[in-house]
Amino acid sequence: MKAICPGSFDPVTFGHLDIVTRVASMFDEVIVAVGHNMSKNGLFLPAERVEMITECTADLPNVTATTFSGLLVDFCRDQGIGVIAKGLRFGADFDYELQMAQMNGHLTGVETIFLPTSPQWSFVSSSLVREVATLSGDVSALVPDTVAARVRAKLAERAG
């Protein structure tokens, strides 16, 4: 059975990778789907995010990464994906994700499963990683080394 782990992954963090790894142990095939969230100010292009995810999941043979646009449930239907897997850090995540899961189920019948984020990553978000890095903070404990290097390079490129 196929599952999907959707998100913006800008950048991919150890919290994301924790969820992806756990989902990969439960399903035959896992697609990490990079969507574009218009309400978020992105650092990386979607294709760059897919590259980072692909690098970071190279040891998981049943995981692939791709981009999608439009409704996630339409992508799931087109790809034959029956389960959406979402990580939850805290209660507010649940409140938001439950509503989305119910809407997705209503639209196409696709199921959503929720996994609690491992405690050591519950405070980590891509937004905070970007903010800390933008202010010259060290994010190496929050993201893989290759991602930290890309974050530093992208911020240096933007600084001119």
Average pLDDT for residues 67-71, to the nearest whole number?
93
pTM surpassing 0.85? yes
Q: What pLDDT sits at residue 87?
A: 95
Helix, strand, coil tally for the chain in percent (to 5): 45, 20, 35
Cα 155 off chain centre by: 21
Residue 150 among the catalytic residues: no
Q: For the chain, what is the total number of helices (H) and then of strands (E)?
A: 6, 5
Residue 106 among the catalytic residues: no
Average pLDDT for residues 71-85, to the nearest whole number?
95
Of 49, 86, 126, 130, the catalytic one is 126
